[in-house]
């Protein structure tokens, strides 16, 4: 296990390096410089050149890259150009909260509803709940969340006026965006848990447990769920990252000051250090979550040895 | 009256081994088998027909419509749907009916192109990795493990901002990391097949290496590939729509469903119909593809046989 995790961490470092190189190159190809945006309009060309020199941006790209790499290894991600001289880590963490809140709410609501729907659907196979769940599952995956968000904003926010839209102050502002985001995890969870539960319910040990008179609830929670939850964990891992780190479209629709918005903003302003910092943060978060999911399997199901091959039946 | 017993009454009936083993039912190939199962799935059939209809409409309508997708008419801005403009007109007086179908065409094109590129790269990469085995496989798998960790959306957005906007750019950006899944699936499938008895039998009978690959390994992988493509198309359409929605996709006056949804969203307060129709179009396409994809998987994936 320790060796497995160690190997995975090694890959992560390589992956991170590839991402850093790729992002750095792409970023430098972007037209413009950090100091020719509206915010720095008043700077004369000489002042702009001076600013570039001060941050070492006049050097050849490989030199800049090595310097950046060196600083990063020492734990210094640099400062933002746009938010003058504020450290990148602080810029990112100040925008992290709203994204996390909306994402976490969406995941929790989606999982809770999705899992219960899926399990009930499997118990009443081909019944009303089952058909209903399948329709929800197909729709939830097919309807883009920004369309849901736009419609929710228009009908619930504007027409009915039930919930606030267009600003970010109180908790109630996070309800609509969370709702818009929760459909995808809901649909995915419902779909996978349904298929798996159906599969498990047909197995001999379930029949045995049933014949011994075990109650349905106990049967589902103690005997079925543990086996059927595994694929859901796999699927959810990458979804968690996507949601927690903010869906760009949702953030712009509901004007949430999250890190999705920060990313596009920083790319538009050529805020190099923020782009790099954010990409690294996102990638690390992504890879760690997937690793965590892989390790979680073996905890939920001791039969799966993480290092070994995962063979089908 | 006793019948005379003669020698020829005791001649054994010659049994014909071929006749004994004769199977009256017509022979079905694995594909035919899957096809029969697919046909029984009504939802999948309806959706497949719908996809064909939508594709044909998206090709025909922009040609036959009296308006061009870029043709502006400032006298009729944001008109509600009428007999003249079936879906109404947009902010610049362009006919929304034409634009929705044109956008559908572009979106389908992007989805198909992206899926095909993933297919070609993914199948070759996966097949080479699995068939070569050994060190080559190890190296290729390490490369994949590195690529899997890349959050693709971030890279796609960066690409879109660096390169000039256009259909080609979107497809290229999505191809950078999009093929990894296909490569993994194809490799897993071929690895599984490689050690099965029928391949061993073919090799024992002297089938050449290439013929084994072409006749035995590839045909048995096709169902996996087709299913994956059916899921790759809607996901590419979705990604394109997402990119256009956040403003890094196609540029005006070109239209894709994403661009139309974005424009519709901006005009939502005064003309909700501008959002509704492209939204319905994209949802319909996504639903159809995912139901057909599911149907194909149920029909062709032997593990799903019940």
Rounded to whole angstroms, how far apart are CA atoms B140 and B127? 11
pLDDT of A304 above 70 = no
Task: Answer yes or no: pTM beyond 0.90.
Answer: no
Task: In whole angstroms, give the CA distance from residue A68 to residue A92.
Answer: 18
The rounded distance, in Å, linking the Cα atoms of A18 and A155 is: 44
> If we measure between CA atoms, which residue out of A148, A177, A197, A186 comes closest to residue A254?
A177
* Residues 6+ positions from A157 with CB-CB distance below 8 Å: A163, A164, A165, A166, A176
**Integer Cα distance of B95 and B228 in angstroms:** 36
**pLDDT at position A266 over 60:** yes
Domains within chain B, CATH numbers bracketed: 31-65+94-304 (1.10.3720.10)
Q: How many CB atoms lie within 10 A of CB A117?
A: 24
Beta bridge partners of A79: A87
Q: Write the CA distances from A43 to A38, A58, A271, B149, integer angstroms.
A: 10, 17, 17, 40
Total CB pairs under 8 A between chain A and B: 109
Token digits of residue B183: 């490569």
Q: Collect all residues of chain B within an 8 Å Cβ-Cβ radius of residue A12.
A: 149
B54 φ, ψ to 5°? -60, -45
Q: For chain B, say whether A23 makes contact (Cβ under 8 Å).
A: yes
Q: What is the pLDDT along chain B (306 residues), one digit of tens a residue?
A: 667 888 888 888 777 777 777 777 777 777 777 788 888 888 889 999 999 999 998 888 888 877 777 777 777 777 777 777 777 777 777 778 888 888 899 999 999 999 999 889 998 898 888 888 788 888 888 888 777 777 777 778 878 877 887 888 888 888 887 888 888 888 888 888 888 888 888 888 988 888 888 888 888 888 888 888 888 888 888 888 888 888 787 877 788 888 888 888 888 777 778 888 888 899 999 889 888 888 888 787 655 544
**Using the beta-carbon criterion (under 8 Å), do B146 and A290 form an inter-chain contact?**
no
Least Cα separation, residue A165 to chain B (angstroms): 14
* CB proximity A272 to B under 8 Å: no
Q: Which fold is adopted by the domain A92-270? A: MetI-like fold (1.10.3720)
- Domain assignments of chain A as residue spans, ordered by start: 92-270
Looking at the partner chain, which of B154, B268, B286 has a beta carbon nearest the beta carbon of A279? B154
Alpha carbons B140 and B137: distance in angstroms, whole number: 5
| Test mutation, B148, B245, B276, chain A, max A CBs within 10 A | B245
The alpha carbons of chain A give a radius of gyration, in whole angstroms, of 24
Residue contact A242–B153, C-beta within 8 A: yes
B78 Ramachandran zone, left/alpha/beta (phi>0; psi -120 to 50):
left
Tell me: cis bond preceding B253? Omega within 30 of 0 counts: yes
pLDDT digits (tens, 9 = 90+) for A92-128: 888 888 888 888 888 899 999 999 998 888 888 888 8
Q: Is the CB of residue A25 less than 8 Å away from at least one CB of chain B?
A: no
pLDDT digits 0-9 by tens, B230-267: 888 888 888 888 888 887 878 777 888 888 888 888 88
Count, residues in chain A: 313
Disruptive mutation site among B146, B257, B287 for chain A (greatest number of A CBs within 10 Å) = B146
pLDDT tens column, B109-155: 999 999 999 889 998 898 888 888 788 888 888 888 777 777 777 77
């Amino acid at each position: 296990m320790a060796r497995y995790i160690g190997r995975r961490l090694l890959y992560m470092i390589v992956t991170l390096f590839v991402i850093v190189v790729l992002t750095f190159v792409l970023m430098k190809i972007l037209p413009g410089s950090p100091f020719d945006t509206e915010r720095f309009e008043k700077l004369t060309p000489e002042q702009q050149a001076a600013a570039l020199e001060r941050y070492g941006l006049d050097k050849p790209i490989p030199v800049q890259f090595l310097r950046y790499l060196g600083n990063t290894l020492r734990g210094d991600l640099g400062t933002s150009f746009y938010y003058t001289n504020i450290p990148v880590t602080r810029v990112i963490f100040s925008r992290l909260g709203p994204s996390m809140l909306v994402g976490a709410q969406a995941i929790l609501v989606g999982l809770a509803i999705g899992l219960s729907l899926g399990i009930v659907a499997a118990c009443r196979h081909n019944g009303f709940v089952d058909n209903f769940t399948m329709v929800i599952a197909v729709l939830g995956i097919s309807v883009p969340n920004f369309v849901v968000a736009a419609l929710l904003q228009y009908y619930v926010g504007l027409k009915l006026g039930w919930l606030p839209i267009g600003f970010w102050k109180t908790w109630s502002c996070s309800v609509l965006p969370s709702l818009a985001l929760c459909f995808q995890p809901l649909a995915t969870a419902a779909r996978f848990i349904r298929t798996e539960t159906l599969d498990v319910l047909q197995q001999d040990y379930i029949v045995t447990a049933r014949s011994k008179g075990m109650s349905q609830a106990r049967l589902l929670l103690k005997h079925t769920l543990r086996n059927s939850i595994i694929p859901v964990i796999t699927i959810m891992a990458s979804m968690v990252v996507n949601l927690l780190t903010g869906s760009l479209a949702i953030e712009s629709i509901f004007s949430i000051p999250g890190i999705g918005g920060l990313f596009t903003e920083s790319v538009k302003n050529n805020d190099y250090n923020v782009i790099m910092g954010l990409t690294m943060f996102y990638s690390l978060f992504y890879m760690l979550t997937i690793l965590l999911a892989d390790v979680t399997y073996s905890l939920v199901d001791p039969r799966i040895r993480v290092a070994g091959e995962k063979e089908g039946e | 009256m006793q019948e005379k017993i003669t020698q020829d009454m005791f001649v054994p009936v010659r049994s014909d081994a071929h006749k004994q083993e004769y199977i009256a039912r017509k022979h079905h190939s694995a594909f035919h088998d899957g096809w029969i199962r697919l046909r029984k799935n009504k939802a999948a059939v309806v959706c497949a027909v719908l996809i064909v209809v939508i594709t044909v409409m998206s090709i025909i309508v922009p040609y036959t419509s009296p308006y061009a997708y870029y043709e502006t008419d400032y006298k009729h801005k944001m008109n509600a749907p009428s007999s003249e403009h079936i879906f109404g007109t947009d902010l610049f007086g362009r006919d929304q009916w034409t634009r929705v179908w044109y956008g559908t065409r572009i979106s389908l094109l992007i989805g198909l192109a992206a899926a095909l590129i993933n297919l070609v790269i993914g199948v070759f990469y996966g097949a080479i990795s699995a068939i070569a085995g050994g060190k080559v496989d190890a190296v290729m798998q390490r490369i994949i493990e590195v690529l899997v960790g890349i959050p693709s959306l971030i890279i796609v957005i960066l690409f879109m901002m660096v390169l000039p906007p256009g259909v080609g750019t979107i497809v290229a950006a999505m191809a950078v990391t999009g093929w990894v899944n296909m490569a993994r699936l194809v490799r897993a499938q071929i690895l599984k097949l490689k050690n099965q008895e029928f391949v061993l039998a073919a090799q024992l009978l002297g089938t050449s290496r290439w013929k084994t690959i072409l006749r035995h390994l590839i045909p048995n992988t096709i169902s996996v590939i087709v299913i994956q493509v059916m899921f790759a198309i809607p996901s590419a359409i979705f990604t394109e729509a997402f990119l256009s929605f956040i403003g890094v996709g196609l540029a005006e006056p070109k239209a894709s469903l994403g661009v139309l949804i974005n424009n519709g969203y901006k005009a939502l307060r005064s003309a909700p119909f501008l959002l509704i129709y492209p939204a319905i179009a994209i949802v319909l396409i996504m639903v159809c593809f995912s139901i057909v994809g599911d149907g194909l998987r149920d029909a062709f994936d032997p593990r799903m046989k019940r």
